[in-house]
Amino acid sequence: MRMHSLRLRKILRDLWSDKARTALVALSIAAGIFALSLTLRTQAMLSTNMLDAYAAISPADVTLTIDGFDEQFVRAIRTMPGLRAVDGSSHLDVRIRIGSEWRSMILKAVPDFDSMQVNRLVSVAGEWPPPKRTVLLERSYLDVVGARFGEPLLIETPHGRQFQLGLSGAAHDLTAVSGRLGSPIIFGYISLDTAEWLGLSDQMNNLQIVIGDHRFDPAHVQRVVDDVQKRTEDAGHQVLNTHIRAPDEPELYGIIASMLDVLRALGTLSLGLSAFLVINTISGLLVRQVPQIGVLKAIGAPRSVIVLMYLGGVLVLALLALLAALPLADVGARALTLQLAGLFNYDIQNFAVPPYVIGLEIVAGLILPLVAGLYPVLAGTRVTVRQAISGIRNEQFGTSAIDRLLGQWRSAAITQRYALRNMMRRKGRLALTLTALAIGGAIAIAVLSVRASLFTTLDQAEGYWQQDVTIVFEQFQRSDQIIQQALHVPGVALVDSQPATLGIRQRPNGDDAEQPTALFGVQPDSSLLQPTLVAGRWLTPQDSNAVVVNVGFLKREPDVAVGDTVTMKIDERTSRWVVVGVVTAQLYNYRASAPDQAILYANRTPLLEAIRAVGSTNRLLIVTTQHDPGFQNQVGHALDAQFTAAGLQAIVQTRTTTRERVASLISAIVVLLLVMVCLFVVVAGLSLMGAMSLNVLDRTKEIGVLRAIGSSSTIVVWIVLMEGVYTSILSWMLAAMLAVPFSKIISDNIGWSLMNWPLEYRFPPTAVLSWLAIVVVLAIIASYLPAISAARLSVRDVLAHE
């Protein structure tokens, strides 16, 4: 028992005798634990709260669009077996005036707000339920609309009639895409009485169903859906569309989960980097304690006991790091979770961390430092009693080719040569320091590269469409008439027709696809459309039944390949198309908010023939005489006024505003990655500071000799700073090489999660140069404290140093 007490006292005394080194190692481990814990806790809290909140609203597993039904029909469907809940509502497409422009709006008309069983709404503020002739807005769109409660909102129905609806309150709808992500569609909620007052049908058109048992069995869900469709048709109703969702998976959850997985991987890597400082520091400690190890062995201490003693010191450091890191990580994770939840329109009700996360933190925080310290401890305690007491060292500077080369280099100043030679003294320590700095730098450069790739991909997606203004009409209009009206507007240089509609793929087994696909009717040789082809070919003017699909379509329909025939159901009419090519995602959608919408491109005339709308269109592409944002807005307002005066409903979107909406999601991803860059910078700085402190400690007597022969404190500081800068420049070279594969891997991963295809890869030279500036400044800061500490030592103290 007394022996254990002595070992503990020695461990604590060694740690306390050099408090700066102890704090440095503990901080390094803490930084790694903080990075890992931050990502683990954020992922756990965000996922738990999102999934719990989404499940609480009883989200629909199946939504059927039906041609008008009443509450009696809903009650009849509720009696069917295999259904847990059934609700009916109306989804109405209208326009809302915001400032000087019209925006698309979906009004959900609900029979009874207090008895909703499916896709429940939650009252946030104002009156509940909304009185007649008023509307509730989804809360994330309040800032977009910019109106206060009680103020009127100008709504225009598909019939061209305009109404003033009072804004009576706000609701929280987790089935709607968050307005903070730049969705072009605004969501509002009214009663059926209000819908009737607007001149719209007082019947419902959406049937929402929650499956009972076996919700996660696709075959069972399909059987239930078939039964409901048959019951609907037997009742004399027509099913226009069927949408089956993944059970309990919120909108855009796949993108969120993929991003958090990337952050977790980076956090794990950050913890791994902190292990390099542990190896460096324990190695330096054991070099100083070689005589003590020799004495311990001389008095009979087994090597295993010595190993355990020093590993005990590492364990104490890891415990200190855990105590420091976990509270900070919890605060940081809460702040990051709140930020992300707000972006995706979720509330965080529970900050509890699952036990498995705490277990992973403790295991990673304790086991990894022990594993990292094992090698230097085993290597350091391998010394014999004779070597330890005599002071014989196996490592001798000047024997390697690099050492001899440095010895022959005479052109540089003596302080520079001395700094370079000092850097090469401990090659093992240098290798570990360079590894930590290089990997941290490579990740930092990679994140800057990913940022450039994201915005390059946005530019590429924007390049699909070369128009300055897009006009989307509520109904198909005569093409020649509306084109002539657009050409009469000053500032319009070119007008092209590009109709679009929604369709459902009918699969070979007779089932319908779960989600609708957008079909665009294009002119293959149009200068306004420049797609990025990844397989097959683009359309030709001679194609009559050919389509090109995007990668979003292949994600949802993985059985489709180039050369296959797909059957599309559009307004209950079916048509067959041959897939001739595949293009990347475009990020601009038709009546959808998801960035990975499934899209088909067909020649304009065959598509119009398939939907029986020859000579008509519902989309115009406008090229203006000037292309700056201000002029686009000016022409857009004039076009809006032109068509409004003609009694036509249209949504006018400029190229600039559309880009800004898409860029909001990309900016959120970039912010998350930059948070991780900051953590890598901290770990890299601590690693370099630790290495420089050990180097100064090893050469304490040399510094005393330099001072004794007349070297000033400034020269000593300058030598240490140059050594740190040289180390940082060497690590920068390695980081630049590693950053290329790292950035490609991260870029591809984010691209697949966001848009089902790798990002348009960019490796900007500015990212490499930016890291050079950062790492040099980091080196100066990290080397300054050890340099000042060395310069303050008196000649008497350093010559007496052991």
pLDDT, one tens digit per residue, over 87-101 is 999 988 888 988 877
The C-alpha atoms of residue 607 and residue 543 are separated, in whole angstroms, by: 11
Task: Say if residue 42 is in the same domain as residue 126.
Answer: no
Strands 500-506 and 62-69: unpaired
Classify residue 245 by its DSSP letter: P
CB atoms within 10 A of CB 761: 17
Element (H, E) at 671: helix 655-698
**pLDDT for the residue 208:** 92
With beta carbons less than 8 A apart as the criterion, state whether 132 and 194 touch. yes
623: part of which helix (H) or strand (E)? strand 616-624
CA separation for the pair 287, 304 (Å, rounded):
18
- Is the pLDDT at 698 greater than 70, yes or no? no
Token couple for 456: 């390059």
- Smallest CA-to-CA distance from 585 within 792, 756, 402 is with 756
Q: Where among 656, 677, 701 does a domain terminate?
A: 656
Which pLDDT score is estimated for 603? 93
pLDDT of residue 595: 64
Report the pLDDT value the prediction gives residue 538, as an integer from 0 to 100. 93
Last residue of a domain, one of 599, 631, 656: 656
Closest CA to 557 of 529, 515, 587, 519: 515
Report the phi/psi class of residue 99: left, alpha or beta, with left for phi > 0 and alpha for psi in -120 to 50. Answer: left
Residues 273 and 360 in one domain: yes
DSSP string over 454-488: HHHHHHHHHHHB--SEEEEEEEEEEHHHHHHHHHT
Statement to judge: residues 73 and 54 lie in one domain: no
In a domain, 546, yes or no: yes
How far is it, in rounded angstroms, from Cα 408 to Cα 266?
Answer: 42
DSSP state of 126: E
Please indicate, yes or no, if residue 665 is contained in any of the structural domains. no
Least confident of 34-38, 405-409, 479-483: 405-409
Q: What pLDDT is attached to residue 440?
A: 78
Q: Of 172-176, 236-240, 541-545, 701-705, which gets the smallest average pLDDT? A: 701-705
Q: Of 347, 365, 394, which marks where a domain is finished?
A: 394
Residues 323, 376: one domain?
Answer: yes
* Position 257 in a domain: no
**AA letter at 368:** L
Q: Is residue 355 included in any domain, yes or no?
A: yes
Please give the DSSP secondary-structure letter assigned to residue 109.
E
Q: What CA–CA distances, in Å, run from 582 to 283, 537, 542, 555, 593?
A: 56, 7, 18, 12, 21
Residues 6+ apart with CB under 8 A from 794: 707
Number of domains in the chain: 3
Residue at 414 is within a domain: no
What pLDDT shows up at residue 188?
94
pLDDT at 1 over 50: no
The answer to whether residues 55 and 71 belong to one domain is no
Tally of CB atoms within 10 A around 436: 28
Cα distance between residue 724 and residue 783, in whole Å: 6
The C-alpha atoms of residue 589 and residue 599 are separated, in whole angstroms, by 8
Q: What is the pLDDT of residues 646-655, one digit of tens each?
A: 888 788 888 8
Asked if 771 contacts 732 with a C-beta cutoff of 8 angstroms, the reply is yes
Residues 79, 55 share a domain: no
Q: Quote the CA–CA distance of 675 and 42 in Å, as a whole number.
A: 13
Q: In which element (H, E) is residue 101 found?
A: strand 101-110
What token pair was written down for 402?
A: 């690099």
- Give the model confidence (pLDDT) of 778-789 as tens digits: 778 777 777 676
| pLDDT on residue 18 | 62
Predicted local distance difference test score (pLDDT) of residue 397: 47
Half-sphere exposure of 477 (CA within 13 A, CB side): 24
Based on the domain organization, do 145 and 77 belong to the same domain?
Answer: yes
The string of pLDDT tens digits covering residues 579-613 is 999 998 776 677 766 667 889 999 999 999 998 88
Residue 450 inside a domain? The answer is no
pLDDT tens string 275-309: 776 776 666 666 666 666 766 667 766 777 777 77
Mean pLDDT of 696-701: 63
Is residue 209's pLDDT more than 80? yes
Question: Is residue 736 in some structural domain?
Answer: no
- Between 278 and 535, where is the model more confident? 535
User: Which residue segment(s) compose the domain that 9 sits in?
Assistant: 1-59+269-394
Q: Which of 169, 204, 193 is nearest to 69 (CA)?
A: 204
The alpha carbon torsion through 394, 395, 398, 399 (nearest 10 deg) reads: 60
The two tokens of residue 145 are 């609309």
Q: What does the block give as tokens for 130?
A: 């909304």
CB 530 within 8 A of CB 466: yes
Mean pLDDT calculated for residue range 307-330: 82
Distance CA(324)–CA(302), nearest Å, equals 34
Q: Is the pLDDT of residue 406 over 60?
A: no
Q: What pTM does this model have? A: 0.74
| Tens-place pLDDT, residues 721-767 | 777 788 888 888 988 898 888 888 888 887 877 777 788 888 888 88
Q: Domain check: are 473 and 488 in the same one?
A: yes
At 216-245, the pLDDT tens digits run: 888 888 888 889 988 998 888 888 778 888
Are 277 and 218 contained in the same domain? no
Higher pLDDT, 384 or 773: 773
Q: What is the DSSP string of 317-382?
A: HHHHHHHHHHHHHHHHHHHHHHHHHHHTT---------HHHHHHHHHHHHHHHHHHHHHHHHHHTT
Q: Virtual CA dihedral for 478, 484, 489, 494, nearest 10 degrees?
A: 100
Pick the closest to residue 512 from 222, 95, 87 (CA basis): 222
* 93 and 126 assigned to the same domain: yes
Asked whether the beta carbons of 86 and 118 are under 8 A apart, the reply is yes
Place of tokens 């109703």: 237
Instruction: Indicate if 78 and 177 belong to the same structural domain.
Output: yes
Instruction: Tell me if 255 is assigned to some domain.
Output: no
Residues 215 and 293 in one domain: no
CB 627 within 8 A of CB 636: no
Task: With H, G, I as helix, E, B as strand and everything else as coil, classify residue 757.
Answer: coil
Of the candidates 784, 792, 788, which has an alpha carbon nearest to the alpha carbon of residue 724?
784
The percent of residues in the chain predicted with pLDDT above 90, rounded, is: 18
Give the pLDDT of residue 709.
65
